[in-house]
Structure formats: C-alpha cells, structure tokens
Structure 1
Amino acid sequence: MEIKRLEETGYLFQQDGAKPHVHHLTQNLCLDHFPSFIDKNHWSPNSLDLNPLDYCIWDELAQSIDWNNVAPKETLIKELKRAVKQIRQDVVLQSCSSWSSRLHRALEAGGCFLKKLITRYSLISSEEEEEEPIEQFWHGFPLAIDDEFKSIASLI
C-alpha cells in the first residue's frame, strides 16, 4: 500500500486546498492512515512563497522546456517529461532547504510575505533608511527574482 511506503520514509503528508483534499471524508482517511498528517485546519496559508514548486521548481521546469517543440498535446507531454528529468537534484534540495527561512520571513510579515518585502525592503525609496537592493534580500534563495516579479513590484 502506498500509504505504508510513504510512512516508512519519515515524510509528512499534506495536501493543498483543492475541494477533494479538504472534503471531510478525505481528511478523515488521511488522519486515520497518516500518523503525521497535517489537517486542513493547521495548513499554512496558501502562499506561493512557501511552496517550493511555486518559488523554484516551476521556473526551473519552464526554463528547461523547448517551447518551439510543444505545439500538439503529445509533444507537450513528451517535452514536459524530458524537462522534469532535467531538473537538477541540487535545485530541488536548495529549494527545500530555503523553506524554513521563507517560513520565518512569512511569519515576520504576519503571513503576508510580499507586503513585508515591500515595507521592509522598501521598493519606494526612503530618506530615513538606505534601500536594500531586492536581489540582496533574496540572496540564498534558490532563484533570483524574475522579471515578472520586478514588473509587478514596480507598479506598487
């Protein structure tokens, strides 16, 4: 049984907020079969900053895909499978190892990481304190801030 194999690895099991995952029958099944299951009432907020897939892996995957080779569905599937195999183990490990630091920063920001980032590291210049470059704030995180984030931040 898959549950038994997962249990033996020492990993915790947690789902996202999809309706089938938060349904009481699913929650009860998981609570009954996963000794370390984290129920929906104790999940962290839905934050891209706390999900390694969102803050690192999807970007790594997207950079590995040959976008000129994904027109029909079949080639997209093949290209996704190829790209997943290209994700380096050190990237996965680094993204997971930065999670505790990200959680700490999210807690400092009262659960609103972006707001804290903008307030503390002031993208709008302040006369009282020297502005810290945003790249410096992200030093040690798996990926540099991408252009999309910079363009969103510049609008604020």
Structure 2
Amino acid sequence: MALTNSSWRLLQPSFFLMGIPGLEDSQHWIALPLCVLYLLAVVGNVTIIFIIWTDPSLHQPMYLFLAMLSGIDLVLASSTAPKTLAVLLVHAHEIGYTVCLTQMFFIHAFSSMESGVLVAMALDRYVAICHPLHHSTILHPGIIGRIGMAVLVRGLLLLLPFPILL
C-alpha cells in the first residue's frame, strides 16, 4: 500500500512554533528589529574575520582568538535567527524533528565553544601579563591552532550524545 503525501506528512514528527501569542497581527513589526540585528551581527562578525585575515600584523594570539569568537558568534546567530524570522514573517510555524535537533545541537555546541574560546583568551592574557618576554614562544601559531582544535572538539564531543539520545 503506497503512502500518500498527506499520510507521510503525519508520520514525520514535527513541532509547531507559535511565534508571540497575542501579537499575531504585529509580528512582522517585531521581526524588523530582529532582522536588522541579525544583519548587523553577520556584517560585524564577517568584517572582524576579514580584517584579521587580511592584516598580517593582526596574526597574534589575541586577534586570532577574537576571530574564532566572531566565527562562533556567526554560527550562533545563523542557527537561530533565520527560523525565528521565518516564523514571524512568513508564518512558517512547523519545524521538523531532525531540524529541531540539529538546531539544538548547533546552539549548545557553539555556546560551549564560545566559553572555551573565552577561557583561551584568558590564558592568553595571563601569559601576556605574567610572562611577557616568553609570550611569543609560549603561544606560537601551532599552539593557537591546537587550542582552537581542542575547543572545537570539546564543544562537539560534549554535546554530541544529546541529539543521539533524543
């Protein structure tokens, strides 16, 4: 027996996002500042990454960690804002189960990575203050890359079991 489109749609688990209850008529006005903030976040973070990437004098630990933080913020903003804007502007209220799990994974994993980069930035400042003459030998580009990979792997492995178990 073949499944029709409507019966297949019922078998897929999904969630229904309400938006802002009671303000259905003015949700498009609420979406306008959210859209502006999202665009500002994207433009600002891309600008920071571009400037650090193109200027060789900014290839120091503090700026590399700042570029990592901007990349993480870019992923965080891009994992939440588009669906929020879709719900508020075009009334796309339904979100699939796997899409919801993927969004949950990205939000929590990259939030965990953000805290890891902040700890790495604190380590950089500690070394710069306590061992200023050895700063460039302690935190050379290889170590910065390893710290970045450790933060990435920590964020991914820490949150990987949650969507799998759900």
- Asked whether the two chains share a fold, i.e. TM above 0.5, the reply is no
Structure whose CA Rg is larger: 2
What TM-score results when the alignment is normalised by the length of structure 2? Answer: 0.24
Higher RCO, 1 vs 2 (CA within 8 Å, ≥6 residues apart):
2
Bigger proportion of residues as helix: 2
